[in-house]
Amino acid sequence: MAYPYFLRVAYAGGGFHGWQIQSVLRSGQGVLWDALRRLDDQVPMPQGTGRTDAGVHARGQGVLATLSRPWEPYRLLAAVNAHLPWDLRVMSVQAAPEGFFPRQHAVGKRYVYRLGTGPAADPLAHGQRWHVHGAAPLEVAAMAEAGACLVGTHDFSSFRCAECVAPSPVRTLHACRIQLRDGGLDLVFEGDRFLMHQVRIMTGTLVDVGRGRRPAGALEGILAARDRRAAGPTAPPEGLCLDQIWYEARWGIGDPCPFGDQSR
Amino acid sequence: MAYPYFLRVAYAGGGFHGWQIQSVLRSGQGVLWDALRRLDDQVPMPQGTGRTDAGVHARGQGVLATLSRPWEPYRLLAAVNAHLPWDLRVMSVQAAPEGFFPRQHAVGKRYVYRLGTGPAADPLAHGQRWHVHGAAPLEVAAMAEAGACLVGTHDFSSFRCAECVAPSPVRTLHACRIQLRDGGLDLVFEGDRFLMHQVRIMTGTLVDVGRGRRPAGALEGILAARDRRAAGPTAPPEGLCLDQIWYEARWGIGDPCPFGDQSR
């Protein structure tokens, strides 16, 4: 018998070469699998929802773990966490319905990119923010205007890296918000799913706008160019966090998607 | 000639054996002095306002640095930071008036103690929160009621450690607020000044109340006992942050004190 569980997993990305398991390098998936095998030597590799890049954090990575015997969810949480290092933690556990697959049934994701501003980088945000140095403060209103141009269904070819293998470059961005927080800026991106490096390239481009290097009105042309060279630099990974994932409502996993199930 | 500057200093406390300089151990004051001496070999030891314990963080340590030549404040900030490690940073600089001394002229301080709750410790708050494990959630209303008993001018003998050498145990606590934040609790303490370990012992006692180990009504008796053994455990240092310091308004340093100048 197989007993599937949905795990919400959080990690501090600085110590991981990304989520996806690799032969030698430390990965979130590999570390979690090691801990699960301490409880159940038949457990197959746990399946995550989104592949985060090396150094990227997560608060809401959704993982399917299939165990060979049933567990009380709170006991499974405590038992797995007892075998995990401090930088990766199972935050919640629920039994998953038969047939649920995280990648296939995800309909939305939220990423948060944290920027630091001002003359000095906050030591208490070290490794969790990209500190943007500069004499002048970022022009937040221009950044918000530029971000609004990205909302909608577009060909995001200008915002994916050369290694991205997604068959289609068309994605739907449902929301792009800029929030003041702890003396810095949080850029919040909600969409159906994202191309490789898409959030980091959108962030790098919005920061160019905030610095006055490009006008907010340039975004339309950057989208239309469908060329990576038209957009700004790729923001570094340490500012990025996979904050939340939504699934089709019929599975009863986590919160319902605020954009509905048809968004993908 | 001597040119005094007021520096607001932030540090991640995990790498320091406290603020105060020590012979061999790494301290905030020592690390800052080393950086200042790279700019000015005659600079005397910089003077902080509050002594934070080993492992305690700061966003608002107020420091007087007296240089032998004048500086543009923004240039001094950049020059000192260029010689500092990532975990201690000068966040702002202003010229200080002649005769200003941080310890003598401080009239108020705010400390924030961050608690983690829930079944698993958040990896992204590692080293900056005390994660309180427990089957039941903390009773926040009872904690707030207990905290309100501490507000006012009291003999805080029950809330200072044996090593505290302050001549008087009487202090004024102006405010004690509990705020939900990032899935945890922030305990905010504002007062004229604090005894050694006072915030950490108040926090440990409020957590006892939140866990149901003591009733909120016990606080009056704990204060009246004037005995350290009457209060709860000393909360660990990593959850504590010296958030802000206020000075007498006549010096024009930072924000005016919300409790007025006569509070101390």
| B116, β-bridge pairs | B131, B184
| pLDDT at residue number A23 | 83
CA angle at residue A158 from A154 to A163, to 5 degrees? 115
Quick: pLDDT tens for B216-236. Answer: 999 999 999 999 999 999 999
Quick: pLDDT tens for B182-215. Answer: 889 999 999 999 999 999 999 999 999 999 999 9
Amino acid of residue A44: P
Q: Which residues of B touch A74 (CB under 8 A)?
A: 119
| pLDDT at residue number A172 | 97
| pLDDT at residue number A111 | 98
Does residue A163 contact residue A254 with C-beta atoms inside 8 Å?
no
B40 is catalytic: no
Q: Does residue B177 carry a pLDDT above 60?
A: yes
Tell me what the pLDDT averaged over chain B comes to: 95
| pLDDT at residue number B264 | 52
Closest Cβ opposite residue B120 in set A81, A119, A120: A81
Using pLDDT thresholds of 50, 70 and 90, give the confidence band for residue A1.
confident
The answer to whether the Cβ–Cβ distance between B86 and A128 falls below 8 Å is no
Q: Does residue A22 carry a pLDDT above 90?
A: no
Q: Does residue A11 carry a pLDDT above 80?
A: yes
The answer to whether the Cβ–Cβ distance between A81 and B10 falls below 8 Å is no
A136 contacts chain B (CB < 8 A): no
User: ipTM of the assembly?
Assistant: 0.93
| pLDDT at residue number B148 | 97
| pLDDT at residue number B178 | 97
Quick: pLDDT tens for B18-52. Answer: 999 988 999 999 999 999 999 999 999 999 999 99
How many other β-carbons are positioned within 10 Å of the β-carbon of residue B193?
18
Q: Which residues of A touch B124 (CB under 8 A)?
A: 10, 12, 57, 59, 128, 241
The answer to whether the Cβ–Cβ distance between A10 and B59 falls below 8 Å is no
Chain A stretch 173-202, residues whose beta carbon is closer than 8 A to a beta carbon of chain B:
none
Tell me what the pLDDT averaged over chain A comes to: 95
Task: Please give the residue of chain B at the shortest CA–CA distance from A121.
Answer: B89
The answer to whether the Cβ–Cβ distance between A87 and B123 falls below 8 Å is yes
Interface residue of A77, A124, A130 to substitute, partner B, most B CBs within 10 Å = A124
Closest Cβ opposite residue A124 in set B57, B92, B123: B57
User: What is the token pair recorded at B151?
Assistant: 């507000």
Cα distance between residue B206 and residue B213, in whole Å:
10
Closest Cβ opposite residue B124 in set A12, A74, A92: A12
The answer to whether the Cβ–Cβ distance between A91 and B120 falls below 8 Å is yes
User: What is the token pair recorded at B125?
Assistant: 């708050």
Q: Does residue A152 carry a pLDDT above 60?
A: yes
Chain B stretch 11-50, residues whose beta carbon is closer than 8 A to a beta carbon of chain A:
11-12
Interface residue of A59, A71, A89, A242 to substitute, partner B, most B CBs within 10 Å = A89
Task: Please give the residue of chain A at the shortest CA–CA distance from B117.
Answer: A91
| pLDDT at residue number A264 | 52
User: What is the token pair recorded at B241?
Assistant: 């942050």
Q: Does residue A133 carry a pLDDT above 90?
A: no
Residues in Cβ contact with B262 at an 8 Å cutoff, skipping those fewer than 6 apart: none
Closest Cβ opposite residue A119 in set B12, B57, B77: B77
Set out the domains of chain A in order of their start, with CATH numbers. Answer: 3-100 (3.30.70.580), 107-243 (3.30.70.660)
Quick: pLDDT tens for B93-141. Answer: 999 999 999 999 999 999 999 999 999 999 999 999 999 987 788 999 9
How many Å is the maximal CA-CA distance in chain A? Answer: 62
Q: Which of the following is catalytic: B40, B41, B53, B182?
A: B53
Q: Does residue A263 carry a pLDDT above 70?
A: no
| pLDDT at residue number B261 | 80
B63 contacts chain A (CB < 8 A): no
| Mean pLDDT value across residues A78-107 | 97
Three-class secondary structure assignment of chain A: CCEEEEEEEEECHHHCCCCCCCCCCCCHHHHHHHHHHHHCCCCCCCEECCCCCCCCEEEEEEEEEEECCCCCHHHHHHHHHHCCCCCEEEEEEEECCCCCCHHHHEEEEEEEEEEECCCCCCHHHCCCCEECCCCCCCCHHHHHHHHHHHCEEEECHHHCCCCCCCCCCEEEEEEEEEEEECCEEEEEEEECCCCCCHHHHHHHHHHHHHCCCCCCCHHHHHHHHCCHHHCCCCCCHHHEEEEEEEECHHHCCCCECCCCHHHC
Quick: pLDDT tens for B78-87. Answer: 999 999 999 9
Cα distance between residue B261 and residue B246, in whole Å:
9
Cα distance between residue A223 and residue A88, in whole Å:
36
Q: Which residues of B touch A90 (CB under 8 A)?
A: 120
| pLDDT at residue number B194 | 97
The answer to whether the Cβ–Cβ distance between A120 and B57 falls below 8 Å is no
The DSSP bridge pattern shows strands B130-131 and B106-116 to be parallel
| Mean pLDDT value across residues B233-259 | 95
The percentage of chain B sitting over the pLDDT mark of 70, rounded to a whole number, equals 98
Q: Does residue A247 carry a pLDDT above 90?
A: yes
Quick: pLDDT tens for A23-64. Answer: 899 999 999 999 999 999 999 999 999 999 999 999 999 999
Does residue A38 contact residue A83 with C-beta atoms inside 8 Å?
yes
